[in-house]
Amino acid sequence: MRSRSIRLSVTIFLILGLAIAALGFKNISIDIPGFPALERQGTGPLGLKLGLDLRGGGHLVYQADTGTRFEVTFAEEVEFSALNAQLDILRFGENDLALESPQAIPLGENRFQIRTGILTADDPRRTGLSEALAEALAPITVFQVTVIGQPTADQMQGVLDNITRRVNRFGTEEPIIQIFGEDRIIVQLPGASGSVTAITLAEPVPGAEVDATLDALLDAAGYEDYEVEREDDSNFTVTSNTIGNEIQSAAALAVNNEIGPFSQFRVN
């Protein structure tokens, strides 16, 4: 029994010694015939390659922007909130079809982009939207429809190659860029993250209470780790973690309703 305990203790000390010795060398390269090569040449502590949760950085997920896009310009002033309300209640065809997850994004004065799922050419929601909006809100001067279908494997590979070239051009250390599923690309960039939202109100709104209101609206919309910089009474810049279209649309609607109309709400 005593000899077994001694052997176990010796084995534990050997394993501990090997672990300490392995961590003592920043660069390791072991290539034994018949076995997978073992290499460690990371730039992190002890030569280890740290994940984003330890070293910080950006984790981006790009999804193919599929669906039907409507570019709409109204001849008269249309409130952003009124447009969103109409998109939720409009029904089309004999079966009273609703728009599939509609999202409205302001592009300029009385100019909007409306996003929905993919609609066929004879879908009543596609053929009847212009007339329905004109009747409910205001006459329409420009109405353009674009349909973006599901990407092919070759198209996704092309996008992957393009992103890889652009990232490598900036010398980003150890980026991870890969296709996930059929229509997504994951990009992990150590030491890089965030979006910048530029907001320009249609009319100046002075007062410190506006800053507090904007802060609360962004938080409710889903912004994370953000900072708001007031440039003047009309222009604000928001730096934050990367945001998607849903958060952008929710924040834009909230700003329009609670603070006032804006001439710009752009996310880079």
Q: What is the pLDDT of residue 93?
A: 92
What's the DSSP call for residue 72? E
User: Could you tell me the two tokens for 88?
Assistant: 């939720």
Are the beta carbons of 256 and 80 closer than 8 angstroms?
A: yes
Res. 98: pLDDT tops 90: yes
CA distance 35 to 33: 6
Are the beta carbons of 117 and 100 closer than 8 angstroms?
A: yes
Q: Tokens 């002033």 map to which residue?
A: 77
Are the beta carbons of 118 and 99 closer than 8 angstroms?
A: no
Q: What is the pLDDT of residue 47?
A: 46
Q: What is the pLDDT of residue 24?
A: 56
Burial 252-262 (b: 16+ CB within 10 A, else e): bbbbbeebebb
The burial class, CB within 10 Å (0-12 / 13-18 / 19+), for 35 is exposed
Q: What is the pLDDT of residue 239?
A: 87
pLDDT digits (tens, 9 = 90+) for 143-202: 999 998 888 989 999 988 988 888 777 666 677 888 888 888 888 776 555 678 888 888
Q: What is the pLDDT of residue 142?
A: 95
CA distance 59 to 8: 44
Q: How many CB atoms lie within 10 A of CB 265?
A: 22
Res. 124: pLDDT tops 90: yes
Of these ranges, 129-133, 206-210, 224-228, the one predicted with the greatest mean pLDDT is 129-133
CATH fold of 195-267 reads Alpha-Beta Plaits (3.30.70)
Task: Tell me what the mean pLDDT of segment 48-71 comes to.
Answer: 69
Please give the mean pLDDT across all residues of the chain: 81
Confidence of residue 30 (pLDDT cuts 50, 70, 90): low
More confident residue, 55 or 62: 62
Strand partners, 142: 73
Query: pTM for this structure?
Result: 0.51
Q: What is the pLDDT of residue 27?
A: 57
Closest to 260 in 3D by CA, of 120, 79, 113: 79
Which residues in the chain are classed under CATH 3.30.70.100?
195-267
Residue 75 phi/psi, 5° resolution? -75, -20
CA distance 167 to 99: 37
Q: CATH: 1.10.3470, 3.30.70, 3.40.50, 3.30.1360. Which one for 56-173?
A: 3.30.70
Question: Hey, what amino acid is at 104?
Answer: A
User: Could you tell me the two tokens for 179?
Assistant: 């296709």
Q: Name the H helices within 78-236.
A: 80-89, 124-136, 153-169, 208-221
DSSP secondary structure, 148-174, as one string: E-PPPHHHHHHHHHHHHHHHHHTT-SS
